Structure 1
Amino acid sequence: MFHDDALKHLRRGVHVIQRSCFGLAYCFEWDAKTNRAIPLRNGSKYRSFQILCYLFVFFVAPAFLARSYHLAVMSPPGQESPASIGVTYAAAIIITGFVPMAWNLKRASGPRKYVSVYQATMEMEKHFEALCRNYDLNPAALTAVQTCSKMLSSYFYQFDYMAPLSFAIISFTPISPVYTTIHSISKALNLKLITGKIGTILISGVPASLGGIFLMATMGACILISGYGVVCLYVWTLAIIPTSNRVELPFETALHVYTCLRHVTILHSEMAHDFVAVCLHHGTMVVLSTGALFNMITELAKGAEMSAILIFACVALILVCLWIEIFAIYFTAMSSTASKEFFRQMRLIHGENKYKRKALRCLLPNYVNLEAVSSADTFLNGVQMEYFSNYLIRVTDNTIDLLLAYK
């Protein structure tokens, strides 16, 4: 049902990673004959990819964390502009979240497991289609497929094109974290920059922009597999919900599909926990949204002295965080809601049969666990839409607290 779109996104993700390093470093190859992704285990391309991952893990991430600590604790007030400080903090959070993803993919088992889970999910969808060929599926599922397809295409268009462009623009401006770090070190050591301000910005901007493009391409592939798991679960749970105006699935077939979807949730939840940052999306988005909203309000309060670049960056960051939370929470919660509707309709139809009634009582709502810690309520009832309201409440409350403490 969704496997055709999933295959297109996988092919796109493989090619984006290859293009981000000019075809010199990557962990996947695309076999045009079999139309499948091939995980690399060795070779010069994969070794180059591993070297880049090691650079991010052991050099780039510690450097950005150290710079953020210096700005927060040791840097004199007014030495750096609010825009450069905000960009540095945001970059440090994003790069730190990328570390477990890079660590997972730089191991030979990482790309192999990624492709295996993705391919298994697509094959399972084809198996479902073969089972349901002679029956009418819920028409709401087809609408959901179209909606999810448009949302994923829009999201990854931003991720593949707009985000790298933003990285490139910021990398060649005076608020670039790399340039501000070099300038701060030279000022502390009383050294004069040989290349001058413009030359230093240009020289430092090249590796910064290229590194940002590689980071976004690889991170996008890691997010893709979790997104596919959520969408697959959502559309197929909708598809098997009985309706009165169609030829419904046999009880055993519907139960088999639902049980197989349970395996999908386990596989994709495990992949999300392997990448770590995917399961920390709520806390990360709250921190980024709070910082962006606080900086935007304080800048607007300055009137004519406000920084237009900072305000634009804050608005863009808030929209991105909002978009991610909508997708991560809304569709996961809708999967749980669809599971409950499936139980309700099946009990109405098959509740008089003792065996079928007991079989339905053994089932729990399906959901892809994208949270670091799950509660007993989530285990029994699935993800609820209250999670999204919690995100909005925490962002607004934290922003108000910061504004009250702001002098």
Structure 2
Amino acid sequence: MWHIEGTRHFRTCIKTLQRNSLRSVFFLEWNSKLGKAVPMKSSNWQYRGFKLFALFSTIITQPILLVWCYQANKSVTGSVTLVSKYASVMSAFIAFTVLPYLRFFAKESNSRKFVTYFHEILNLDKRLTVYILLKLMVTKSKYRPRKLDTVTKIANLGTFTMNYIAPAFIIWASVTNNSPFNGFILHLLNVTRINFFIRVITATLFCITFNIFISITYLCILFTASGILVLHFWSNYLLIKNLSFYTTIKVYNQLKIMTIFMQEVGHDLVTVCLHHAYMVLFGTIVAYHFILQFTHGKDISVGVTLTALIMFSFTTGTEILIICIVSKASKKSKETLRKLLLNHGKNRYRRRVILSMLPNSISLEFIDSVDTIRNGIGMDYFLRYVERVQSYTSTLLLATKHKI
């Protein structure tokens, strides 16, 4: 099940974070003997370096990126390239979303909490797998989810992208004039070229900073995805298999506890619970600039088109993961409860137990409605994402008076 793949990807994320920071700025390490992640103590110099990095990113890096983003998009046409404008927006957006992660992991107790909950999610999947094997004496092929292979391929692609493609792209971007750091210095000094030595320093800082940003972001994505996938797989299993009443209730309640863990850490990470607002904003910006190419008097750019398609796939994929898969798990949970009520409703005690239970759902939102608490996340939430991106993009195009 997922605990095997999840552990492997977790280890890879930690190794990548250490590599991207030149083994000087990180907060987790992998214990090969125990086969698990170990949070570092605050007395370690690497963890102290991470705290300084978080402070530096908050009070220096983020303001620089915001100032350059404003200056680049307000500059006279022709003085700043279109690619530089896109790079300034993307870098400021990435830094803004990563800052809550940095603040969270800069506290030792939060780092320990994150690792503990992550391993609990993976261990829950492992315990349920072993329990089902011993209880029902079935082979792995009989209960292996049909979509697990597809999920594994997607996870492998995501890990490969974050570990190899993203660092290479960041290195390439750091040495060009489109780099936000280089653009900020050019604007600050009011020159057309900067010294080679300064360019090397800015490129190094940009590489290390954004490679760490990407690694931490993917680590949080992996945590969220692991909880969602475990909930989805086992909710589906409870529905399609005829387990005993007490076995079903036991597994169901363990999944309920896992959802509480997920929501607690999600609220602490902040950005995870703001996924809808961020994805709508980012999706609107991407869709706007993609459509803008086809307006009157505009040239079609292959780079902009490719970037827009990749970014839009990322935003849509994120919403599909957080909303659609959770919605399916909630639906399976409700169907499981109906199945239990149908089979055991005549027993007074069991009926009371079933009626007292709510559908298992992971609500990664700061405020939940009564309907969400009772029925879980629905697919209508994903439709709201599509509707808002379409509406805001149309409004933005009309407001800027572009002829379509």
TM-score, normalised relative to structure 2: 0.91
Residues 1:358 and 2:355 aligned together: no
Structure 2 residue 184 is matched with structure 1 residue 181: yes
Residue in 2 that maps onto 1:216:
214
The Cα of 1:109 is off from its aligned counterpart by 1.0
The 8 Å contact of residues 64 and 184 in structure 2, kept in 1 or not, is answered as: no
Aligned equivalent of 2:165: 162
- 1:332 deviation in Å? 1.0
Code of the aligned partner of 2:342: L
- The verdict on how the C-alpha distance between 1:154 and 1:98 changes in structure 2, with shifts beyond 3 A counting, is same
Matched, 1:93 2:87: no
Distance 1:87 1:358, change over 3 A: same
1:319 paired with 2:313, answer yes
Verify the 8 A CA contact 1:138 1:239 in the aligned structure 2.
no
Contact 2:186 2:194 in 1 (8 A): no
Cα offset, 1:167, TM superposition: 2.4
Aligned to 2:60: 59
* Map of 1:329 onto structure 2: 323
Aligned to 1:342: 336
1:81 maps to 2:76: no
Change (3 A) 1:374 1:77: farther
Evaluate the alpha carbon distance shift between residue 238 and residue 110 of structure 1 in structure 2; reply closer, same or farther with a 3 A threshold. same
Mark the CA change 1:378 to 1:116 in structure 2 (over 3 Å): closer, same or farther.
same
Q: Name the % identity.
A: 26
- The letter for the 2-side match of 1:57 is T
Q: Could you tell me which residue of structure 1 aligns to residue 261 of structure 2?
A: 267
Q: For 2:379 and 2:143, how far apart are their aligned partners in 1?
A: 20
Displacement of 1:193? 4.4
SS of the aligned residue for 1:384 comes to: coil
1:254 equivalent among 234, 248, 251: 248
CA distance in 1, matches of 2:59, 2:238: 48
Higher mean C-alpha displacement, 208-217 vs 158-167: 158-167
Matches within 5 A, 1:17-32: 17-32=17-32
C-alpha separation between the residues in 2 aligned to 1:110 and 1:215?
18
Alpha-carbon deviations, 1:263-283, whole Å to 9, x = none?
100101111111111111111
Deviation at 1:326, TM superposition (A): 1.5
* Larger CA deviation: 349-358 vs 120-129: 120-129
- The residue number in structure 2 matching 1:398 is 392
Cα distance in 1 for residues equivalent to 2:125 and 2:310: 36
After superposition, the Cα gap between the structure-2 partners of 1:79 and 1:372, relative to the gap in structure 1 and judged at 3 Å, is farther
Paired with 2:306 and 2:200, the residues of 1 have a C-alpha distance of: 22
- Residue pairs, 1:16-165, within 5 angstroms: 16-41=16-41, 42-71=43-72, 75-132=75-132, 133-135=134-136, 142-165=145-168
Contact residue 276 and residue 385 of structure 2 kept, 8 A: yes
* Letter of the structure 2 residue corresponding to residue 179 of structure 1: N
SS at match of 1:240: helix
Cα offset, 1:153, TM superposition: 2.2
Q: Structure 1 residues 143, 384: CA separation in 2 closer, same or farther (over 3 Å shift)?
A: same
The CA distance in 2 between the partners of 1:130 and 1:139, in whole Å, is: 14
SS in 1 for 2:365: coil
Amino acid at match of 1:63: I
**Cα-to-partner distance string for 1:6-60 (whole Å, 9 max, x where unaligned):** 1111111111111111222211111111111110012112112222222112211
Distance (whole Å) between structure 1 residues aligned to residue 78 and residue 351 of structure 2: 68
* Distance of 1:306 and 1:159 partners within structure 2: 28
CA contact (8 A) 2:263 2:364 kept: yes
Find the aligned partners of 1:368 and 1:269 in 2 and give their Cα distance.
Answer: 6
CA deviation string 1:347-403 (max 9, x = no partner): 222122222121111111111122233211111111111122111111111111111
Any unmatched runs of 5+ in structure 2?
none
Aligned to 1:231: 229
Amino acid at match of 2:380: E
Give the equivalent residue in structure 2 for 1:11.
Answer: 11
Q: For 1:350 and 1:138, how far apart are their aligned partners in 2?
A: 29
Alignment root-mean-square deviation, CA: 2.3
Q: Distance in 2 between matches of 1:267 and 1:259?
A: 13
User: Higher mean Cα deviation, 131-140 or 372-381?
Assistant: 131-140
Query: Structure 1 residue 293 and structure 2 residue 296: aligned?
Result: no
- The structure-2 alpha-carbon separation of the partners of 1:304 and 1:400, relative to structure 1 and needing over 3 Å to count, comes to closer
Cα distance change, pair 271–303 in 1 and its aligned pair in 2 (3 A): same
Q: 1:201 to 1:194 in 2, by over 3 A?
A: closer
For residues 129 and 214 of structure 2, what CA distance do their matches in structure 1 show? Answer: 34
Cα separation, partners in 2 of 1:184 and 1:310, compared to 1, 3 Å = farther
Instruction: Give me the TM-score of the superposition, normalised by structure 1.
Output: 0.90
> 1:382 and 2:380 equivalent?
no
Q: Deviations over 1:95-150 (max 9, x none)?
A: 11100100111111122111111122223223323432222699575224333323
The runs of 5 or more residues in structure 1 that have no matched partner are none
SS at match of 2:314: helix
In the other structure, the counterpart of 1:281 is 275
Deviations 1:47-101 (A, max 9, x none): 12222222112211122123334445x6445532332222211211111110010
Shift of 1:203: 4.8
The alpha-carbon deviation at position 235 of structure 1 amounts to: 0.9
> Measured at CA, do residues 25 and 202 of structure 1 come closer, stay the same or move farther in structure 2, by a change above 3 Å?
closer
Distance 2:211 2:296 in 1: 33
